[in-house]
Amino acid sequence: MRLNLRLLADHDGKSARSHTTCKYKCGNQCFREHDNQSDNEYFGDITRRTVLRGAGIAVIGAGAASALAACGDSGSGSAGSSSSAASGAAGAAGGAPSENVNAPGLNFQAVAPNKTDAVTVPEGYEQAVVIRWGDPVVPGAPEFDFDNQTPEAQEKQFGYNNDFTELLPIDGKPNAFLLVCNQEYTTGEHMFKGYKEGDPTENQVRVEMAAHGLSVVEVKGENGSGKLTPVLGEYNRRITATTPFELRGPAAGTFFTKTAADPAGNRVLGTIANCSGGVTPWGTVISGEENYTNYFSGTEKPPLDGLAEGWKRYGVGKDEDNHHWMKFEDRFDLSKEPNEINRFGYLVEINPHDPKSTPVKHSAVGRMKREGGNIFVTQTGDVVTYCGDDSKFEYIYKFVSSRKIQQGKGAAATEANMRILDEGTLYVAKFEGAAVENGKVPEGGYKGTGTWIPLLTTKADGSAESHVDGMPAENVALWTRVAGDKVGATKMDRPEDIQPNPKTGKIYCALTNNSDRGVKEGQPGIDTANPRVKNKSGQLLEITDDHTGTSFSWDLLLVCGDPAAADTYYGGFDKTKVSRISCPDNVTFDAQGNLWISTDGTNDTFDSNDGLFGVVLEGKDRGLTKQFLTVPFGAETCGPVVTEDRVLVAVQHPGETDDADAEKPSSHWPDGGSSEPRPSVVAVWKKGGKVGS
């Protein structure tokens, strides 16, 4: 029997977000029990009594607002009920700062919140679409034809729902770059006219499989503008749900990763649900496989008793089969191929400079619903990778490699460096801090200390040692969440992107929201790092880490939400002068060391579109938050890339609203008229000047 967790139009008071997004992107995680039901003791337990008292107050006091609690995993900011794509002008939803404060790198007039079906940028800035879903990527790709899509065409064209985006320089080619972009998930209703929910055709399924993965596209700049134009260059490549990957590390070649099609357990077809990512100092790209579980179904019963804990902890079998790929490929049917799912959930690495190279899945770094990963190199050359597991009450991890970077750019150096994530120690974070009261910001903000607890060490010869009692090394690599439970890791409010600031080495993590925080007896309450009951707007965590060591200190840079509300905190900056921000998702840094944050869920909180914000980190203006752009109706903001020449954002799922489909789109971005919306990457630049100058 299959689990059927389908929830129809009634959102059960959980969210104002598009149900379509919940269904296809994260398998309705916001509408069911969260996966972390472990009773591991962590510091929040100390304050549970206070928490539950706080919870009662908050829920009663929240009234209608509680019905707008932000949605669950990998949420989008889509409007749940309105179908009216705000027409051009106005639509400003209030919430602009009372005064425009400038700062180095952030000299622009903050964009006001709005519900416009367009990318809205500050005065003096220009924009252009770089590439859209369906645009040609590799030679021989046909032009996009919405009404006649084929898998053969799609696997040569730019994929759907672009997320992580990065520009890499190309040696010997000034003003040319490799644009590398994740394509996270698909929504059949918006991609195909006549799509039958729950019963896709084989052509539709295979187009969707080809629309997943990553795209590598050469782009050419032009003098005097930030515009980028795709080129059918020699590096261009599509990686899809069928591209062969090498699985490495302690999970590879085990009973749990062997399948009928791959008896050796080390050659996996495809990558899916690629959310965020990062660029390595050796020029490759890493990408996180996030909500992969809702691509697998067929049974709710694990084939072995020993798998029950792992399946429960990762929500396997709990998700609907939203993509229905099992109709045409047995490997997505858990009743026929129960191990295929164990070959997803990794940090994957691709070498965009070699289009023939085989991408790698690294299991020494653990397996989770991984947002992405980003690397910091210490002064002694040690390589540390930070990553988050983006589900409610999941953990933050780091991996300290035992290998150093081999200098040089040749194939041998890259091959050696692509082993860096295969050897070293994986840790999980435990936070400590004073007790807090729900919604009451302590004098001087929230802060504390923490410890990295070792889980798994993988050695150069491939052997691995577990640091978790009762768990063999391969199990730690495969069911890393369970290992985190056993050592008492801290349950966080959905760790999204986490990235070191190259200027200061401090680590920044977006904790996007958690509508289940502190709402039920016996469930995790608030703590200093996750200080709000039914957290709908999220917070921005700043970690000062002893990178290769096991201790750290931390504080909350932002506690997001309405600046006028008592429970928000903007780094100590005057809250009347900031742009309001909610549901932080992806982070990056500019040349001055300012933090830039893209959001996913603003519509849930403020009934305005998602956006991109710059935040001052150091000095008297710390906490100054300014909105640089907003994305079109129903979209979330991904990417982002911020340089002095241009800003790039990936506009994901424009017009993805419940009442919209391919026949009745609720957005017409980017092509206007009556066109279907197309997820696209956009470049924004300052006319005659540097970004933020």
Please give the sequence-ordered ranges of beta strands (E in DSSP) within 414-538, or none if there are none.
424-433, 447-458, 464-466, 492-493, 495-500, 507-511
**34 versus 331: smaller Cβ distance to Ca ion:** 34
Under the binding rule (CB under 5 A), the answer on residue 621 touching Ca ion is no
Q: How far is 535 from 547, CA to CA, in rounded Å? A: 29
Q: How far is 160 from 191, CA to CA, in rounded Å? A: 9
Please list, in sequence order, all residues whose beta carbon lies within 8 angstroms of the beta carbon of residue 321, skipping any fewer than 6 positions away.
Answer: 2, 294, 295, 296, 297, 298, 332
Alpha helices in 479-611 (DSSP H): 480-486, 602-606
**74 versus 322: smaller Cβ distance to ligand FEO:** 74
Instruction: Determine the interface stretch with Ca ion among 307-315, 329-337, 583-591, 609-617 (rule: CB under 5 A).
Output: 583-591
Q: Per-residue b/e over 650-672, b at no fewer than 16 CB within 10 Å?
A: bbbbbbbbbebbbeebbbbbbee
* Closest CB 54 distance from Ca ion, rounded Å: 25
Q: How many residues bind Ca ion (CB under 5 A)?
A: 5
Instruction: Determine the interface stretch with Ca ion among 71-79, 344-352, 458-466, 515-523 (rule: CB under 5 A).
Output: 71-79
Q: How far is 108 from 124, CA to CA, in rounded Å? A: 9
Binding site partner of 423, from Ca ion, ligand FEO, none, Cβ cut-off 5-8 A by kind: none
x/- map, 262-281, Ca ion, by CB under 5 A: -------------x------
**138 versus 272: smaller Cβ distance to Ca ion:** 272
* Closest CB 495 distance from ligand FEO, rounded Å: 8
CB 447 within 8 A of CB 440: no
Instruction: Determine the interface stretch with Ca ion among 120-128, 140-148, 565-573, 584-592 (rule: CB under 5 A).
Output: 584-592
- β-bridge partners, 539: 511, 559
- CA nearest neighbour of 610 among 587, 589, 629: 629
Question: For the chain, how many residues are written?
Answer: 693
* Closest CB 512 distance from Ca ion, rounded Å: 5
Residue 451, CA distances (Å) to 366, 458, 471, 481 in order: 18, 20, 21, 17
* Closest CB 415 distance from Ca ion, rounded Å: 30
Asked if the bond preceding 670 is cis, omega within 30° of 0, the reply is yes
**266 versus 374: smaller Cβ distance to ligand FEO:** 374
* Closest CB 390 distance from Ca ion, rounded Å: 6
* Closest CB 445 distance from ligand FEO, rounded Å: 25
Q: Three-class SS of residue 298? A: coil
**339 versus 657: smaller Cβ distance to Ca ion:** 657
* Closest CB 508 distance from ligand FEO, rounded Å: 15
**349 versus 496: smaller Cβ distance to ligand FEO:** 496
Under the binding rule (CB under 5 A), the answer on residue 542 touching Ca ion is no
Q: Three-class SS of residue 59? A: helix
- Shortest-Cβ-distance residue relative to Ca ion: 600
Counts for the chain of helices (H) and strands (E), in that order: 10, 32
Binding site partner of 555, from ligand FEO, Ca ion, none, Cβ cut-off 5-8 A by kind: none
Binding site partner of 289, from Ca ion, ligand FEO, none, Cβ cut-off 5-8 A by kind: none
**340 versus 604: smaller Cβ distance to Ca ion:** 604
Please give the sequence-ordered ranges of beta strands (E in DSSP) within 223-352, or none if there are none.
225-231, 237-239, 244-248, 267-269, 274-279, 285-289, 347-350
CB 214 within 8 A of CB 183: yes
Q: How far is 491 from 578, CA to CA, in rounded Å? A: 29
The footprint of ligand FEO (CB under 6 A) covers: 74, 184, 275, 290, 371, 390, 496
**One residue of 600, 610, 661, 676 binding Ca ion per CB under 5 A:** 600
Instruction: Determine the interface stretch with Ca ion among 55-63, 336-344, 377-385, 579-587 (rule: CB under 5 A).
Output: 579-587
Alpha helices in 506-653 (DSSP H): 602-606
* Closest CB 59 distance from ligand FEO, rounded Å: 26
Binding site partner of 290, from ligand FEO, Ca ion, none, Cβ cut-off 5-8 A by kind: ligand FEO
* Closest CB 652 distance from ligand FEO, rounded Å: 9
**73 versus 117: smaller Cβ distance to Ca ion:** 73
- CA nearest neighbour of 422 among 364, 463, 478: 364
CB 659 within 8 A of CB 613: no
Q: How far is 28 from 663, CA to CA, in rounded Å? A: 24
* Closest CB 392 distance from Ca ion, rounded Å: 12
Q: How far is 636 from 340, CA to CA, in rounded Å? A: 30
CB 589 within 8 A of CB 540: no
Instruction: Determine the interface stretch with Ca ion among 92-100, 462-470, 514-522, 580-588 (rule: CB under 5 A).
Output: 580-588
Binding site partner of 135, from ligand FEO, Ca ion, none, Cβ cut-off 5-8 A by kind: none
Q: Whole-angstrom distance between the N-terminal and C-terminal Cα of the chain?
A: 60
**369 versus 486: smaller Cβ distance to ligand FEO:** 369
**24 versus 43: smaller Cβ distance to Ca ion:** 24
Q: Per-residue b/e over 376-390, b at no fewer than 16 CB within 10 Å?
A: bbeeeebbbbbbbbb
Under the binding rule (CB under 5 A), the answer on residue 496 touching Ca ion is yes
Binding site partner of 656, from Ca ion, ligand FEO, none, Cβ cut-off 5-8 A by kind: none
**125 versus 596: smaller Cβ distance to Ca ion:** 596
Instruction: Determine the interface stretch with Ca ion among 248-256, 299-307, 319-327, 585-593 (rule: CB under 5 A).
Output: 585-593
**170 versus 275: smaller Cβ distance to ligand FEO:** 275
Please give the sequence-ordered ranges of beta strands (E in DSSP) within 308-355, or none if there are none.
347-350
**One residue of 585, 604, 658, 661 binding Ca ion per CB under 5 A:** 585
**337 versus 371: smaller Cβ distance to ligand FEO:** 371
* Closest CB 282 distance from ligand FEO, rounded Å: 25
Residues that bind Ca ion (CB under 5 A): 74, 275, 496, 585, 600
